[in-house]
């Protein structure tokens, strides 16, 4: 039988690490910064605000 370390995919592990880091940064920044970024990215002013939140099906709901 192959060991668990041999079964891990380096690309998947790298992606998971990057996603964890992005989530930590997002939590530190807060929602106000997300809204500010969305407002800056919205052009022209008549367009709706382009705020986006990454979601994962089946993920735990945050309070």
| Residue 48 forms part of a structural domain | no
Count of the separate structural domains present in the chain: 1
Residue 55 has pLDDT above 90, yes or no: no
Would you say residue 21 lies in a domain?
Answer: yes
Considering the domain boundaries, does residue 34 fall inside one? yes
Place of tokens 């380096």: 10
pLDDT at 29 over 70: yes
Question: What domain range is 28 assigned to?
Answer: 11-39
Residue 17 lies in a domain: yes
The mean per-residue pLDDT over the stretch 20-49 comes to 76
Judge whether 25 and 13 are in contact, CB under 8 Å.
Answer: no
* pTM given for the model: 0.39
34-46 pLDDT, tens per residue?
A: 777 777 777 666 6
Let me know if residue 60 belongs to a domain.
no
Does residue 32 lie within any of the structural domains? yes
In a domain, 62, yes or no: no
* Token pair 């997300």 in the structure block, residue: 34
């Amino acid at each position: 039988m192959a060991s668990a370390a041999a079964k891990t995919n380096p690309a998947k592990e790298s992606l998971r690490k990057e996603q964890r880091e992005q989530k930590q940064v997002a939590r530190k920044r807060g929602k106000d910064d997300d809204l500010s970024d969305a407002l800056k990215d919205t052009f022209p002013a008549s367009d709706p605000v382009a705020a986006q939140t990454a979601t994962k099906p089946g993920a735990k709901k945050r309070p």
